[in-house]
C-alpha cells in the first residue's frame, strides 16, 4: 500500500492566508517542506482520504487522475477536510462528463453534512454513500476500513481510521484528542504497520487532550498504542496536521519528534507499507 501525504496542515494552511505570525512569515520565506496544504492523503491510485479546499491544486501538483478514483473516505465534515465546491462539478452533463460512480465512506453525520453542503442528492453527483458503523470493519473491494470515534467536533461524527490493504494496516488519526476509553477498546487487537497521529497545536498547547493534540499528548497517544500492542517500537509513526498556532516550523517539529522516533510529515511525502 502506497500512501502520499497531499496536505499536512490544519484548517488555515501554512503559511496561513492572513498570515501575520512568525511561523507563517518564516514558512513563506523558506518554502519547501514549510508549505502545507490542507490535510489529505492518496492511497495507491484509487483512494483519497479527506477532500478539502486544496483538492484542486493537490490534484495538479501530485498528478492525481480522478477518473480512476474509486473511493473517498472522510474523517469528519469540517470544511478543511470536506469542501463541497468540487463536488458540484460532478453534476453531468451540465458541468462535467461524469459517468462513473465513486464510493464515499463516512459517518452518518458526515454524509448528512455532505448533502447539506452540496445541496444535491448523492445519485446526482454519481456517488454511492457508504455509512460507517463505528467499531466495525467495512469491506470495499480489496480495501478494509475500521472507523473509530475521534475526540473532536462533538456531534459531527468524527472518526480516526484503520485502513487495510494487501495485509498491511495504516492508522490515520488526524483531528482527534486523546481517545475515550470506548474508542481505545475498539483498537484492541488491531495491529498497525504504520501510524499517522496529529499534532495540531504542537507547542501552542503542548498538553492539549481534547479536540486536538499538542506535542506531549501526541507522544502520549503513540505510547498508548505501544502499551496496547497496536504498534511496536519499530513501527513507523508519522506526525501530521499542523496549525500555525502550534508555534513551530518544520525544523522545530523535527527537533522535538525525531529523538522520540517519530517522523514529521510534509506535503508530497510518499511512504510504502
Ligand atoms: Zn482538520
Ligand atoms: Zn476538524
* Radius of gyration for the alpha carbons in the chain, expressed in angstroms and rounded: 18
Strand 159-165 with 143-149, pairing: antiparallel
Question: Over the stretch 3-23, which tens digit does the pLDDT of each residue have?
Answer: 999 999 999 999 998 878 999
Where b means 16+ CB within 10 Å and e means fewer, 71-101 reads bbbbbbbbebbbbbeebeebeeeeeeebeee
pLDDT in the model for residue 77: 97
Please enumerate in sequence order all residues whose Cβ is within 8 A of that of 66, keeping only pairs 6 or more positions apart, or say none.
Answer: 59
Q: Which residues of the chain have pLDDT under 70?
A: none
Q: How far is the CA of 267 from the centre of ligand 1 (A)?
A: 15
Identify the CATH assignment for 2-272 out of 3.60.15.10, 3.40.50.920, 3.40.50.2000, 1.20.1270.10: 3.60.15.10
Pairwise CA distance, residues 114 & 205, whole Å: 31
Q: How far is the CA of 210 from the centre of ligand 1 (A)?
A: 13
Q: Answer whether 0.95 is exceeded by the pTM.
A: yes
Pairwise CA distance, residues 144 & 168, whole Å: 10
Q: Which ligand is nearest to the CA of 40?
A: 1
By CB neighbour count within 10 A (0-12 exposed, 13-18 middle, 19+ buried), where does 271 fall? middle
Q: Which ligand is nearest to the CA of 152?
A: 2
Q: How far is the CA of 103 from the centre of ligand 2 (A)?
A: 22
Q: Which ligand is nearest to the CA of 156?
A: 2
Q: How far is the CA of 174 from the centre of ligand 2 (A)?
A: 8
Pairwise CA distance, residues 210 & 178, whole Å: 6
Pairwise CA distance, residues 81 & 111, whole Å: 13
Q: How far is the CA of 68 from the centre of ligand 2 (A)?
A: 27
Q: How far is the CA of 93 from the centre of ligand 2 (A)?
A: 33
Q: How far is the CA of 211 from the centre of ligand 2 (A)?
A: 8
Q: Which ligand is nearest to the CA of 151?
A: 2
Question: Over the stretch 159-185, which tens digit does the pLDDT of each residue have?
Answer: 999 999 999 999 999 999 999 999 999
* DSSP string for 56-71: HHHHHHTT--GGG--E
Q: How far is the CA of 173 from the centre of ligand 1 (A)?
A: 10
CA–CA distances in Å: residue 199 to residues 33, 52, 272? 16, 19, 22
Please enumerate in sequence order all residues whose Cβ is within 8 A of that of 39, keeping only pairs 6 or more positions apart, or say none.
Answer: 7, 8, 9, 10, 50, 52, 80, 81, 174, 175, 240, 241
Q: How far is the CA of 128 from the centre of ligand 2 (A)?
A: 24
pLDDT in the model for residue 93: 84
CA dihedral 132, 137, 138, 141 (to 10 degrees): 160
Where b means 16+ CB within 10 Å and e means fewer, 181-197 reads eebbebbeebebebbbb
pLDDT in the model for residue 253: 98
pLDDT in the model for residue 73: 98
> Phi and psi dihedrals of 51, rounded to 5?
-140, 85
**Strand (E) positions, the chain?**
2-7, 40-43, 47-49, 71-73, 102-106, 127-131, 138-140, 143-149, 159-165, 168-173, 194-198, 237-240, 263-264, 270-272
Which set of grid coordinates corresponds to residue 199? 499534532
Q: How far is the CA of 197 from the centre of ligand 2 (A)?
A: 14
The number of angstroms, rounded, from the C-alpha of 129 to the middle of its chain's C-alpha atoms is 19
Pairwise CA distance, residues 70 & 47, whole Å: 6
Amino acid at each position: 500500500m502506497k500512501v502520499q501525504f497531499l496536505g499536512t496542515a490544519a484548517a488555515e494552511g501554512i503559511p496561513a492566508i492572513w498570515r501575520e505570525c512568525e511561523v507563517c512569515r518564516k514558512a513563506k520565506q523558506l518554502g519547501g517542506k514549510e508549505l502545507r496544504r490542507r490535510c489529505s492523503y492518496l492511497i495507491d491510485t484509487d483512494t483519497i482520504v479527506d477532500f478539502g479546499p486544496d483538492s484542486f491544486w493537490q490534484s495538479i501538483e501530485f498528478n492525481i487522475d480522478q477518473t480512476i478514483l474509486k473511493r473517498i473516505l472522510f474523517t469528519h465534515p469540517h470544511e478543511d477536510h470536506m469542501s463541497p465546491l468540487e463536488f458540484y462539478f460532478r453534476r453531468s452533463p451540465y458541468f462535467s462528463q461524469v459517468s462513473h460512480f465513486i464510493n464515499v465512506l463516512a459517518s452518518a453525520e458526515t454524509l448528512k453534512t455532505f448533502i447539506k453542503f452540496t445541496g444535491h442528492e448523492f445519485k446526482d453527483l454519481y456517488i454511492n454513500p457508504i455509512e460507517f458503523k463505528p467499531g466495525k470493519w467495512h469491506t470495499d473491494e480489496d480495501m478494509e476500513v475500521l472507523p473509530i470515534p475521534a475526540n473532536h467536533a462533538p456531534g459531527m461524527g468524527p472518526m480516526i481510521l484503520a485502513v487495510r490493504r494487501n495485509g498491511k494496516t495504516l492508522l490515520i488519526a488526524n483531528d482527534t484528542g486523546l481517545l475515550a476509553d470506548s474508542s481505545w477498546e475498539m483498537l484492541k487487537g488491531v495491529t498497525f504497520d504504520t501510524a499517522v497521529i496529529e499534532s495540531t497545536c504542537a507547542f501552542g498547547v503542548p498538553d492539549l487532550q481534547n479536540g486536538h493534540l499538542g506535542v506531549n499528548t501526541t507522544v502520549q497517544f503513540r505510547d498508548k498504542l505501544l502499551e496496547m500492542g497496536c504498534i511496536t517500537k519499530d513501527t513507523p509513526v508519522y506526525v501530521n496536521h499542523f496549525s500555525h498556532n502550534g508555534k513551530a516550523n518544520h525544523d522545530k517539529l523535527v527537533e522535538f519528534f525525531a529523538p522520540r522516533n517519530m517522523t514529521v510529515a510534509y506535503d508530497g511525502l510518499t511512504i510504502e507499507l
